[in-house]
A = this chain, B = another copy of it.
Amino acid sequence: MREIAILGIGQTPISEHWEKSLRAIAGEAVLAALADAGRERADGPALPRGGASRSAVEGLFVGNMLSGLLNRQENLGALIADWVGLRGTEAVKVEAACGSGAAAVRAALMAVASGAMDCAVAVGVEKMTETVGPQTTAALATAADADWEAAQGLSFVAINALVMRRYLHEYKWKHTDFAPFSINAHANAVHNPYARLHDAITAADYNRARMVADPINLLDASPIGDGAAAVVLVPADSIPRHGRPVVTIAGSASATDSIAVHDRRDPLWLSAAAESAKKAYAQAGVGPADIDVFELHDAFSIMAALSLEACGFAERGQGPRLGLEGQIHPTGRVPIATRGGLKARGHPVGATGAYQIVEVAQQLRGEAGATQVPGAKIGMAQNIGGSGATIVTHILKAN
């Protein structure tokens, strides 16, 4: 498989974009990524928005989960391609629940790696706060098992609450031990202009936050939002090596688990995270100790702990320890949620995986500002669809 690089990155602020259509939100991220790709070129200044580099795009891969239910719109590939001036270009939507964003990046990666095309754009997009369909909570439950979870009245947060309750029981943690995950995410988001929330929180805030689904309170849970993030992928050998670092995709893997949590041998072990990370580590020739920054899928604080364990950063049942020991900050041993994570950057579900990859690329380029991880050379992004059912892991390297 030929080596693929991320030539351009783009994102929109995550917010309530009632004034913008789904296609406009996605399109803005695509055009920003194309403009950024233009800045990579040897011959000088930034190209106009999308300008010259748009003609090189041969495929558009749209990560999205809920457009049918919430926006009454499918066929997003053609819709968005046209809006950005790529009418005619191959385009398709990729769906893997909240893992759709990274799944779209992986589809674009395989398209370029196959030789079918030399330049692909992947964009994750979701418009959730102004919708025409069922309540967002009902829509999000389609990530779970419709027949055996949602039909029993379980919302998505309720499923995660059952997992967290079990975890607290099994490994003897207190709820407040999870506070560092949320505190770190909020602290980092203050410095990210694209983040949904810009308010730092304290342990006291965390402990008194109102309950959503016991034991998950409001500060354990990520906020939904409207937003889009995009990357431009090309063969690595097509990029002139000068100026800012070239970010390559050194590892990319996806794995699944049962869609219903109760079907698993151990509901506290993300086997698809372990499996996809193992494959990505092998492809990249690295291990957890080599990862300088890890954008993980902290949709709920319990998921941050489980991801750290499954990917080899903590022993089983010991995920919260990393936070309590102060190792998850940008200058810690295992920096996570460095741009705010799902918790505070926000979680526009089908877009999240693309945001994570854009943020890791920012870190590897040294463009992460106040939350820059010093000397970051290797980063990992892990996107989860459902309660651990579909997990996509990418490892990026600065070259």
Interface of A toward B, CB cutoff 8 Å: 1, 21, 65-69, 71-79, 81-82, 86-97, 103, 106-107, 109-111, 113-116, 138-139, 141-147, 150, 252-259, 263, 271-272, 275, 385-386, 389-390
Chain B CB within 10 Å — which of A74, A86, A144 has the most?
Answer: A74
In the complex, chain B residues whose CB is within 8 Å of the CB of A93: 94-96
Q: Which residues of B contact A71 (CB under 8 A)?
A: 146
| Other 6 A-B pairs with CB < 8 A, given A21-B147, A73-B146 | A66-B68, A72-B138, A75-B386, A90-B254, A92-B103, A113-B116
With both chains docked as a complex, state the minimum distance between the C-beta of A36 and any C-beta of chain B, in angstroms: 23
Given A142-B73, A146-B71, residue A88 in contact with residue B390 (CB < 8 A): no
Closest Cβ of chain B to A151, distance in Å, is: 9
The chain B residue sitting closest to A1, CB to CB, is: B115
Tell me whether A75 and B390 are in contact (CB under 8 A).
yes
Tell me which of B138, B253, B258 contacts A78 (CB under 8 A): B258
A347 to B161, CA, bound (A): 41
Which residues in B have their C-beta under 8 angstroms from that of A252?
Answer: 116
Nearest B residue to A65 by beta-carbon distance? B74
Interface contact B103-A110, CB-CB below 8 Å:
no
Minimum C-beta distance from A251 to chain B (A): 11
Closest Cβ–Cβ distance, residue A64 to chain B (whole Å):
8
Q: Are A256 and B91 in contact (CB under 8 A)?
A: yes
Taking the nearest CB of chain B, how far is it from the CB of A23, in angstroms?
A: 8
Flag if A88 contacts B1 (CB, 8 Å). Answer: no
The chain B residue sitting closest to A72, CB to CB, is: B146
A257 to B75, CA, bound (A): 11
Task: Contact check, B110 vs A116: say whether CB atoms are below 8 A apart.
Answer: yes
Give bound CA distance, A112 to B111, whole Å: 10
- A389 to chain B: which residues have CB within 8 Å? 75, 78-79
B115 touches A78 (CB 8 A): no
Q: B76–A95 contact, CB under 8 A?
A: yes
Q: Is the CB of B110 within 8 A of A390?
A: no
Nearest to A63 among chain B residues (CB) is B92
Q: Are A82 and B116 in contact (CB under 8 A)?
A: no
